[in-house]
Every structure is written in structure tokens, then in C-alpha cells.
Amino acid sequence: MSAGSRSCGLPSGTAQYRFAISLVLAVAFGLRIYRLDAQSLWFDEGFALHLASQSFQQIVERNPVGWLPLHSFALHVWSGLVGQTPFAGRVFSVFFGVLVVALMYLLGRTLAAPETGVVAALIGTFSPFLVYYSQEARVYSLWLFLSLLSVYLLLRALRHPGHVGGWILYTLSTIAALHTHYFSIFLLPVGLVAVALEAVRRRHWKTLVVGAACQVAALAACVPLVGYVLSSSADRYGFWRSPLSPTQVVGDLWYHFTSGGNLTPAQALLGMGVLAIGAIVGLFVLRPRRHAALLALYFAIPVAGMLILSRWRELYVARYLAISAPAGYLLAAAGFGWLWSIIVRHRGVGRALALVVVLCLAGGIAPCWAQALDNYYFSSEYARDDFRSAALFIGDNERGGDVLVMSGGGISTALLPYYGGSLPWVDIPQFGEWLDEDQVVEELNSLLADRAGGRVWLVLSGNQITDPQNLILAHLWTYAQATEARSFAGRTGVRVLVFSPRYEGERFTFSPLVYESLETNFDKQVELVGFEIDGSQFHPGDDIHLALKWRALSEPKEDYHAFAHLLAEGSQAVAGHDKVPLNEYFRPTAWPVGEPLRDEYIISIPRDLPPGRYGLEVGLYSYPELERLPVLGDRGRDADRALLPPIFVVE
């Protein structure tokens, strides 16, 4: 039996299939509405709801780098009908999440058999990946729906190539997907392959012309998006940087498609293997073969496209390739359906072996998904960033004269929906911006002007991207004393720190931080402009806080690592801190040429280190080769480090 056969022993007849898929969709809805408001909004959700609350013109004007406007338009209309609460925003995604499951049934039925459609819908129902994005007030649930709708309508148009209405619906759905997410562009080559395969099979070249014309029309309809594309491509800081190899990308993607990121990789390994086995079997048994090829390309083209684009700029995040998940699930459904058909249709040893295989596969994937969903619903370790608890903590403990500072690139949109206090606040930087020191000084001075005695509440989340130099914390640590710190659960994490500034009289003034000049040239690529050390005498067990100021003289050839070592006599390192300068999201190859950048190091002095005079050395080296960059200039070609003033360890 092939996966394209029309009976696998599941309920037969239209009424039975309708009952089966209705039951599956009811379960899908239940899993997606369950505990919908149990977790806090995280940053992206907060900003999505904030943007959708604006007028259509404001949405266009304020649409951030990396986003497209259709989701915001649709969410704006939805919010006008049902309200602008976090719960209502997530229900919008639930609605399309259930429709995604319905479309997986329709696609499975169209590509193979009704039974395959039911299995595909079951996989979509319980997929932790799809459940997660069906409960998030972001673009992905709508995007998956529009992408699947485009593929389904294309298949329908190819079955009836003479019906103009079918081609029009396909074109409109593709345009909608292209206006929802940038990577919908990968639908076009997938569609072109499908059209070409059908035209060759039928020797009907008009189908190829019409199909290609529909894709050209869809692309032409995206001309208004050119400005968004240019802004995103010109922005150096608008994307997460994920330095993964192609093999690691595929592995990480399959891990997320299997577990939704709600298990450790070790816990997800068995489920990943089971789902992969199902997809591989489906690839070989699905009939007709052009359908197997279409699903394989539907999965592979976006992944390959992402890898190609990442040679220009590292773009990979699993959710950006969500468009590939349904193809993998549909292939797995074809494979599982074929195995089930053997059980139903055969007798004897073949049936027994198939039953054993199916039970083993079910025993591998079911516990994996059950644990992943349990972690998602109930474990704080896998929860979204808990801005709600952070806001309640601030509201319960604030007092007159306090001020609120938020850092993470617009995180106020996630915190303020839960904040019932009345403190003056500032959110720096704004979404898509990158923080500089002048802005930090100006904003903090403006907020604290004439507020003697008040404390500063600092909320941090994602600030390693928008404030890679750690400028806000550096100024507060320099001019204020931390009196409390609290961390809240979440995948990125939310931190709240309370500072008591050192006031002089009735005013408080921040100033730019001061560095000692150094000017050390590392291989004509990077210059160490200056440094700052928080003292000269320390005790065993203390931490030395060191700030270095780098400047790229040209675009660095690679993402060098930096070292800061504490040296005993004979240049023996007794303590140190090695890391990627600034952080993983703003590594040397992303540095703007000519701009000084602050970089922080903490060197922990061993508790048993004898008192005495110790040196400090800093420098850069390639990784993993561990070859230090040479220092040029008066120090000589053979030098490979910069020496800072010594420190003294005292009893």
C-alpha cells in the first residue's frame, strides 16, 4: 500500500471523516486556549499589541525593522472588535492556529489520502512548536496559515487549471503571505516548481505560463514593501546573530519543530529521531512522487535560502523558518499513515512487525510531546519573560520620588500593561535603535533632575542587544549604589535592580565616563583606545571590574576573542576573563568602523592568592586557533598584548 491509497482502515465515508477532523480540531482549540493568559506578554508580543493599537498611518510609519505591516493591520481590526487586552491579542493567534491544523488536514488529503490528512492534523494539534506560536500575540500563527493557504490553493488551481478564480485566490493568498513575513518569498520558488512539475506531467504549457504570471503578479504587488526591505537590509543591528554551521542550523531547526524549545536537546533527541523517521519514510512512499518532491522542496527551499542569506548576514532563528514546519509534519504523516496501512491491510508477520514499529514510534514521540507541553504550560524555566511579575514587584515596593528606567529596546510595551504604579519612566533605547553614551547621560539626567532622595528602578531584558556596551548599568554602578536585585523567569529573563544615587544637595548629574588613554594597535584591525579599572588595591576573593574601550580601524577579519589576565611574576596568569568582546550578539565583525565601544570584564581574584603586586594584560586572539593578534607600533612587531597598570593584593 502507498501513502496515496484511499483507505488505511480509519473511519471511511465523508461523515466519519468530518467527525474525526472535527474532534481533532476541538482538541487543537483546547490545547491552544488552555492557560492562554497564564504567562506574561514578552517583548515582541507587547510591541505587537502596542503597534496594533495605533492608527493605520502610524502603523506604517512606526513599523520596526524586520517586520511587515499586514499582521499589525489585521490585529488592529481584531482589537477594535474584541478589545486590546493581552488575552484578546492571543486569541487572534489561537484562531489562526486552529485553522493551520485544518489546512494540514486538507493538504494531507489533497497530497495523499484523507487518512494522511487526519494524521497530519493530529501531528499539528499536538506539535509543541505550533501550540507555542498559536498562543503568542505575534505574526507567526497568521503567517503559517497564509503560507499553507497559498500552497493549498495552488494545488487546487493545478487540479483545475482552466478555472481563473482558483488562480486569483492563489495569487491573493500569496500576496497576503508576502505582506506578512519577509521569508514568505520562499513560497515563490516552491510554487514555481509545483507549476513546472504539473505542466511537464500534463504537457500543458499554458499552466506554466499562467502559474508563473501569478507569481510575477504577487511579487509586483509587493512594490510598496520595498522601503521596508531596504531599511531592514541596511540595518546592522536589527537581527539576532546566531553563529551556527549549516548542519547545526538543520539540527536546531528540527529540535524546535519537535519540541518547541520546551525540552533539553537530550530529552528531545528520541522524539526528533521518531519524527525524522516518519518524514523519511513518507518521502519514499508518498505517491504520486511529485507530491513527495513538492513537500521535500517546501521544507528544503526556505532552509537553503536562509543558509544562503546567512552568508551575507547571520539571520537564523528557528521561528523565521516556521514556514518549513508543516512540510516536515506532512511528510511524517505520510510515513506514519503508510505504516498504519500495513497493519490494517496485511496479516501475519508483516502486520506484526508494522505494529511493533508503530508502537515504538508512538512510544518515542508521545512522551516527548507530553513532556514538552507540560514544560510549556507549567515550568517557569520554559516560560516567556515574566514582565507581569516584574511590574507587580515594582508597583508593590515603589515609593515617592522613585523613577523607572527600562532598557531593552521598547520593553515598556510588555511591562506597562501590567504596571499599576505612577512613577515617571523612560524606555531607552527605542525599538530598533542602538544606545550611545550621550543618550544615556541625557535621559538619566532628565529623569532624575530635582529628585533628591529618589531611587532608580532599572528593568533589563534583551539589553545585551540594544545596549551591548552596558552603558546604563555602567553609569548607575558608577554614580549610585545597588540596594536590591531580583530576577524573574523567562527564556530571555527579566531583571529588576534598585539603585540609590549619590546625591549632592538637591540635584544629581551623570557625566560621561572617563577612561585612561592607551592607543594600542592590534594588527591594523582594532585599536584599544583606553581602559578603566575600579581601583588599585584589592583583597583575595574580590572582583576586579575592568572596562576596555575598543575601536575598529577596519572591518575585523573574524570574530576575535579577548583576554584580560591577572599576572604573577614571570607573566604567569593567576586569574582572568576570556570572552567575545562586548557579547555574542555584537561581535567584532559587526562593529562600526571608527566608533569607540565599551567592553566590560570581571577578574575574580583567588581567595588563596598571596598579597603582592600583580600585572594586567589584555589582547585579542583568533578562535579556535588561539593565535594572538600582534601589536604594531613602538612596542614592536613581536608584541601580542597591552600591559595595564599593576594592581596590589593586600591582606
C-alpha 517/C-alpha 536 separation (Å) is 17
Encoded amino acid at 340, one letter: W
Domain boundary among 439, 469, 501: 501
Residues 154 and 263 in one domain: yes
Residues 262 and 372 in one domain: yes
Prediction pTM value: 0.88
SS3 of residue 125 by DSSP: helix
Residue 389 has a pLDDT of: 96
Please give the DSSP secondary-structure letter assigned to residue 79: H
CATH of residue 606? 2.60.40.770
Crossing angle, helix 43-52 and helix 86-111, to 10 degrees?
100
Residue 562 has a pLDDT of: 96
Residue count (the chain): 651
Residues 43 and 72 in one domain: yes
Residue 201 has a pLDDT of: 86
Determine, yes or no, domain membership for 389. Answer: no
C-alpha 158/C-alpha 170 separation (Å) is 10
Residues 172 and 69 in one domain: yes
| Sequence-ordered list of residues with C-beta below 8 angstroms from that of 107, at least 6 positions apart, any chain | 117, 120, 148, 151, 152, 155, 326, 330
Please report, for residues 75, 543, 580, the alpha-carbon distance to residue 69 in angstroms, rounded to integers and kept in the order given.
10, 48, 35
Determine, yes or no, domain membership for 79. Answer: yes
Residues 411 and 376 in one domain: no
Residues 496 and 549 in one domain: no
Determine, yes or no, domain membership for 9. Answer: no
The rounded Cα 166 to chain-centroid distance in angstroms is 35
User: Within 10 Å of residue 351's Cβ, how many Cβ atoms?
Assistant: 14
Residues 421 and 478 in one domain: yes
C-alpha 542/C-alpha 641 separation (Å) is 24
User: Within 10 Å of residue 445's Cβ, how many Cβ atoms?
Assistant: 15
C-alpha 573/C-alpha 641 separation (Å) is 13
Q: Which residue has the cell 549610585?
A: 480
Domain boundary among 501, 527, 562: 501
Residues 491 and 601 in one domain: no
Phi-psi region of 535 (alpha: psi -120 to 50; beta: other; left: phi over 0): left
Mean pLDDT by 10 residues, the chain (651 residues): 44 71 96 96 94 94 87 96 93 98 96 90 96 97 98 94 94 97 94 91 87 94 86 60 75 96 95 94 92 94 89 82 96 88 68 67 87 95 94 94 90 94 89 78 82 85 87 88 91 91 68 89 94 93 95 92 92 92 85 92 94 95 92 68 93 84
List the strands of the sheet with 597-604, edge to edge: 597-604, 543-552, 526-533, 516-522, 631-632
SS3 of residue 70 by DSSP: helix
| Sequence-ordered list of residues with C-beta below 8 angstroms from that of 297, at least 6 positions apart, any chain | 189, 190, 193
Let me know: does 315 contact 306? Beta carbons within 8 Å. Answer: yes
Domain region containing 594: 516-649
Residue 509 has a pLDDT of: 76
Let me know: does 587 contact 464? Beta carbons within 8 Å. Answer: no
Residue 611 has a pLDDT of: 94
C-alpha closest to that of 48 among 34, 69, 31, 27: 69
Let me know: does 404 contact 512? Beta carbons within 8 Å. Answer: no
Q: Across the chain, which distance is largest between two alpha carbons, in Å?
A: 92
Residues 139 and 265 in one domain: yes
DSSP codes, 497-552: EEEEE--BTTB--------EEEEEEETTTEEEEEEEES-SEE-TT-EEEEEEEEEE
C-alpha closest to that of 558 among 528, 525, 527: 525
Domain boundary among 382, 404, 429: 382
Determine, yes or no, domain membership for 388. Answer: no
C-alpha 214/C-alpha 631 separation (Å) is 59
First-to-last C-alpha distance (Å) of the chain: 81
Residues 192 and 48 in one domain: yes
Determine, yes or no, domain membership for 583. Answer: yes
C-alpha 331/C-alpha 289 separation (Å) is 12
The x, y and z cell numbers of residue 496, run together, are: 529588576
Residue 2 has a pLDDT of: 45
Residue 500 has a pLDDT of: 87
Residue 598 burial by CB count (10 A; 0-12/13-18/19+): exposed, middle or buried?
A: buried
Determine, yes or no, domain membership for 1. Answer: no
Alpha helical stretches, state H, 221-347 = 226-234, 246-259, 265-285, 289-309, 325-345
Residue 607 has a pLDDT of: 94
Residues 493 and 528 in one domain: no
Determine, yes or no, domain membership for 509. Answer: no
Residue 12 has a pLDDT of: 47
Residues 204 and 74 in one domain: yes
Please give the DSSP secondary-structure letter assigned to residue 37: T
Question: Phi, psi (5° rounding) for residue 27?
Answer: -65, -40
C-alpha closest to that of 546 among 555, 554, 538: 538
Overall number of domains in the chain: 3
Full 3-state SS string of 442-453? HHHHHHHCCCCC
C-alpha 54/C-alpha 76 separation (Å) is 8
The x, y and z cell numbers of residue 630, run together, are: 600582534
Strands (DSSP E) contained in 59-144 are: none
